[in-house]
């Protein structure tokens, strides 16, 4: 699934320079080796690829469209803004691209029980959906804080037959859900497949999730010339690609294919929370340092003793103290630029898109929108920005309602 002749990462051991790798307990070693060998085989297997593509087309509803946000572009007065509409996928976000691929692997490995972690609930819903589709048992770990603020997605998971396990440890958010899911996997490794939501975890997860999600960027490479022609952008492609970054799966899904075209700038937007100088944020690249968490080495938010510190974001899906190791590598190599957007800016972008384009975005995606709005004003009208609208905002209605009641 690697179409980039001059980019050969990760290496055979799962490293992106000093990042990535596989740091796991002995109990999981054999399961990781089994998964690595299976993916090495099936990623080039014509039958597997054909089934994956068929499911994306007929079950997920791909390709997702690219939409010219014309009123938004005119109102801002700068670059033309285009939205990759991952919010229109079945389940309402990009997450299902990955869960379909991993579930198909689990089927081939004979695993009948699926576990997952989730923050905003979109990955949990996508996992529960594919488990219902393929007749598998599904257990989803979710921090109790996120259970409260993402109630609609909790109900959706239960309707789809999943068992949702609230996690009460630590900050009671995504990091802690992932910890408990890892413990479950250790205890049930023989019959259980762990569908990790993001481009983190022990190798081959960060590569595997990237490959499944890169359908986003591959579609854009075909779709953008139809929109831009020769008069806008860079030879039929955008001048800039913008995506929000928590763990980073939606961002790497659109960035990876865009590492090939020359002249396209990549912007990853982290959650600035209440401001990165406040200490209440989730900006792992902007304010973090290298360390090991959840099976891989990457940038983490940690104290001087290497202990993970609590994060904050108005968006549950960006509230994670680390980032996928490939993003760490892209940052160090200056192949992508990572910036921050705070809660208030993301909320303003959320309301703006609702009212000017009739699209209700996820709060995660609103971070990318907010930065694109800033960036557009610095660019010409014959330039183009492609924003990955990674999910829809139905799940965030409770959060938005409570903030509006509070006068925000």
**CB atoms inside a 10 Å sphere around CB 260:** 15
Cα–Cα distance measured from residue 227 to residue 59, given in angstroms and rounded to the nearest whole number = 26
Identify which of 194, 210, 236 has the alpha carbon closest to the alpha carbon of residue 34. Answer: 194
Q: Is 265 a catalytic residue?
A: no
**Phi, psi values for residue 3, rounded to 5°:** -105, 10
Beta strands in 129-177 (DSSP E): 137-143, 163-167
> In the chain, helix, strand, coil percent, each to 5?
45, 20, 35
Could you give the CA distance from residue 115 to residue 31 in angstroms, rounded to a whole number?
14
Q: Residues 326, 199: contact at Cβ < 8 Å? A: yes
Using DSSP's 3-state secondary structure scheme, residue 405 falls into: helix
Active site residue 74: no
Q: Do the beta carbons of residue 344 and residue 206 sit within 8 Å?
A: no
Q: Which long-range contacts (CB under 8 A, 24 or more apart) does 275-284 make?
A: 275/342, 276/340, 276/342, 279/309, 280/312, 281/311, 281/312, 281/313, 281/340, 281/342, 282/246, 282/311, 282/312, 282/313, 282/318, 282/319, 282/320, 282/321, 283/340, 284/320, 284/321, 284/322, 284/323
Q: Choosing from 86, 117, 270, 357, which is the catalytic residue?
A: 117
Active-site residue among 73, 84, 86, 95?
Answer: 95
How do beta strands 337-342 and 265-273 pair? Answer: parallel
Catalytic pick among 73, 214, 365, 390: 390
Instruction: Enter the tokens of residue 405.
Output: 């009641």
- What residues form DSSP beta bridges with 140? 116, 164
Q: Considering only CA atoms, give the Rg of the chain.
A: 20
Q: Residues in the chain, how many?
A: 408
Is 326 in the active site?
no
Q: For 306-325, give one letter per residue: b (16+ CB within 10 A) or e.
A: eebeebbbbbbbbbbbbbbb
Task: Check: CB of residue 139 under 8 Å from CB of residue 113.
Answer: yes
So which residues are the catalytic ones? 95, 117, 390
């Amino acid at each position: 699934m690697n179409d980039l002749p001059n980019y050969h990462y990760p290496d055979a051991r799962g490293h992106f320079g000093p990042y990535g790798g596989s740091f796991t307990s002995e109990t999981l070693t054999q399961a990781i080796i089994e998964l690595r060998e299976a993916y090495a085989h099936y990623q080039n297997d014509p039958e597997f690829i054909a089934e994956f593509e068929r499911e994306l087309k007929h079950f997920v509803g791909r390709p997702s469209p690219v939409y010219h946000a014309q009123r938004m572009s005119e109102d801002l007065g700068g670059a033309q803004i285009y939205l990759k509409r991952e919010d229109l996928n079945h389940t309402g976000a990009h997450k299902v691209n990955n869960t379909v691929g991993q579930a198909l692997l689990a089927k081939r490995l004979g695993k009948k029980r699926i576990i997952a972690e989730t923050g905003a609930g979109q990955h949990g819903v996508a996992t529960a959906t594919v488990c219902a589709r393929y007749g598998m048992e599904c257990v989803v770990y979710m921090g109790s804080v996120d259970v409260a603020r993402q109630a609609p997605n909790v109900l959706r998971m239960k309707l789809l037959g999943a068992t949702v396990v609230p996690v009460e440890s630590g900050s009671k958010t995504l990091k802690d859900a992932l910890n408990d899911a890892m413990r479950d996997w250790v205890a049930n490794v023989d019959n259980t497949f762990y569908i990790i939501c993001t481009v983190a975890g022990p190798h081959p997860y960060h590569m595997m999730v990237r490959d499944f999600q890169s359908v986003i960027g591959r579609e854009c490479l075909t779709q953008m010339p139809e929109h831009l022609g020769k008069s806008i952008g860079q030879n039929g492609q955008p001048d800039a690609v913008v995506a929000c970054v928590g763990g980073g799966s939606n961002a790497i899904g659109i960035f990876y294919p865009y590492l090939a075209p020359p002249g396209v700038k990549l912007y990853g937007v982290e959650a600035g929370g209440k401001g990165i100088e406040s200490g209440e944020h989730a900006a792992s690249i902007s304010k973090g340092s290298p360390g090991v968490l959840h099976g891989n080495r990457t940038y983490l938010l940690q104290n001087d003793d290497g202990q993970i510190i609590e994060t904050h974001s108005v968006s549950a899906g960006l509230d994670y103290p680390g980032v996928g190791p490939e993003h760490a590598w892209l940052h160090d190599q200056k192949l992508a630029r990572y910036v921050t957007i705070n809660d208030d800016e993301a909320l303003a972008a959320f309301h703006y898109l609702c009212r000017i384009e009739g699209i209700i975005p996820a709060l995660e995606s609103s971070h990318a929108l907010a930065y694109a709005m800033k960036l557009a004003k610095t660019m010409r009208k014959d330039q183009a920005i492609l924003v990955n609208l990674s999910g829809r905002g139905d799940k965030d209605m409770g959060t938005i309602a409570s903030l509006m009641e509070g006068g925000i």
